[in-house]
A and B are shown apart, each in its own frame.
Chain A
């Protein structure tokens, strides 16, 4: 799939792993953040004399960090982003949710598309069959040139077999892959995911898995579009390009088959995202705060399972449970389903979509705090004090732990469907 997408994007009939190509991104996606977009805007103009980006319809900006602003300089950054977008003819979407999710909702995640961002979590758009690559500061190239130089990565095919047990979610699947394969197992490679577990998984779950590709070292992670994908995308796709599918005789650097029937819920223990362990070995550890949200989790299935766990129950007094739906569209649907009501009545603090909880800009943890979190990362200081700890887990575990004030198994709270 990767070779087909990058062949089209570089105007070639075919490419092979290792080829160095100049590929034209179908969309250049960014959120405004100091040191990134403000620098790209300035460098494009001052260093390259680019007053107008080529084909502004290929660009999109999101304002999802520092929302709402808590300092004048944050609002100034947003103001400059809006002004740049207006001057360039580039759309700026703000207060609609976390950009990686809103990108999907607004149809930038067209199957077969080549997408670039500076942030690697854009890989979640691979759930829709796009090649979505986080180039860090290298994305400057896309602001000053229509193409980007890159090497076609080899592909690792991961086939997930079996059936997930109740209480096991997409988050568990991804972190289990890191445990089984290792955090650098897919370094500089693309990952193609398939198998019965993926077939049965919701589009949301696939976004969750693909969005964390960087923690396997992968350039991105892709799933071939199926009927579920195409139904989700109905009326959204922005590009009329042919979806791509893997050839039956596609060449993979490695094919790994992993059976997930025995997988149980996991926790990723600080201080590293490489540190996947079984939930059952950490039950009972006291926790002070819980975060259910982020670009990785915080979608409807996460909110539904949390509401199921918390319905008719109460968050333990003193425990801070923050629930942040990933987008406004998700929040509105959660409200229609009564999930927001259930969560609020249980004592959860429910906020509008923002990236800010994930990196401790708000709900900042103090020394000695310990969180259960569906955020992306558990390195020290990620959500506040460097002397606080983050245990990454699925949404059901966050909800169950909020009731007990300690790391808890959600399965006794679930009616058999998670």
Chain B
């Protein structure tokens, strides 16, 4: 199995380093669990009307150490509900990275991405070539490959299906 490439427009560029993703929905809203409610507050402070601009498959772009702080899950749940297919960032905060990969949500570490794109650009993440391409600007950047377990988790669609497959394999091997 191989990871499908991601193709989408840059829905937003979070240029700042150490971005606290809780700010996407607002800290006051992180206890909301209803997705339709979360989507209404997502990006409300930064970009009113953001939801209407997102097409299924669009991507977010972030700076260094994206997801720093005590990241909670609602921000990316809301983004997925809007159709966001992944985040391409200079680097990720480890806790955020682990948490979202376990949700089956692609995170792509790609140094140089913030300077290479603007909102609205089309992006292509090519896992097998370990590249992020920005065709409209003729740019190709290297992405940092995933560890096997991370890749397996994304391929399976999240931690639960990945663990099920892994346990089935090890039971098969020991039988």
Highest count of chain A CB atoms <10 Å: which of B17, B30, B97, B98: B98
Q: Which of A35, A151, A218 contacts B147 (CB 8 A)?
A: A151
Interface residues of A, CB < 8 Å — how many? 36
Task: Verify if B112 is at the interface (C-beta below 8 Å from A).
Answer: no
When chains A and B are docked, how far (Å) is the Cα of A381 from the Cα of B72? Answer: 13
- A274 pairs with B93, CB closer than 8 A: no
Contacts of B163 in A (CB 8 A): 48, 140-141, 144-145
Chain A residue at minimal CB-CB distance from B71: A136
Task: Verify if A187 is at the interface (C-beta below 8 Å from B).
Answer: yes
Contacts of B167 in A (CB 8 A): 48, 144-145
When chains A and B are docked, how far (Å) is the Cα of A136 from the Cα of B99? Answer: 6
Chain B residue at minimal CB-CB distance from A380: B27
Contacts of B94 in A (CB 8 A): 187-188, 214, 217-219
Mask, A129-144, CB within 8 Å of B = 1, is 0000011111011001
Task: Verify if B20 is at the interface (C-beta below 8 Å from A).
Answer: yes
- B70 pairs with A184, CB closer than 8 A: no
- A136 pairs with B147, CB closer than 8 A: no
Number of A-B contacts (CB under 8 A): 94
When chains A and B are docked, how far (Å) is the Cα of A338 from the Cα of B10? Answer: 61
Q: Knowing A136-B102, A137-B99, A183-B18 touch, does A43 contact B160 (C-beta < 8 A)?
A: yes
Contacting B at CB under 8 A, from A374-412, are 377, 379-382, 386
- A381 pairs with B27, CB closer than 8 A: yes
- B149 pairs with A272, CB closer than 8 A: no
Q: Knowing A137-B159, A138-B102, A184-B68 touch, does A149 contact B164 (C-beta < 8 A)?
A: no
- A379 pairs with B102, CB closer than 8 A: no
Mask, A346-389, CB within 8 Å of B = 1, is 00000000000000000000000000000001011110001000
Task: Verify if B69 is at the interface (C-beta below 8 Å from A).
Answer: yes
When chains A and B are docked, how far (Å) is the Cα of A141 from the Cα of B160? Answer: 9
Q: Knowing A141-B163, A379-B20, A380-B27 touch, does A183 contact B147 (C-beta < 8 A)?
A: no
CB proximity of A273 to chain B, nearest CB, Å:
7
When chains A and B are docked, how far (Å) is the Cα of A274 from the Cα of B64? Answer: 13
Interface residues of A (CB under 8 A from B): 20, 35, 43, 47-48, 120, 134-138, 140-141, 144-145, 149-151, 183-184, 187-188, 214, 217-219, 271-274, 377, 379-382, 386
Instruction: Knowing that A150-B149, A183-B68, A217-B65 touch, tell me 20 more A-B residue pairs with CB under 8 angstroms.
Output: A43-B160, A136-B95, A138-B159, A140-B159, A141-B159, A144-B163, A145-B170, A149-B166, A151-B147, A183-B18, A184-B17, A184-B64, A184-B93, A187-B91, A188-B94, A272-B69, A273-B68, A274-B18, A380-B27, A386-B28
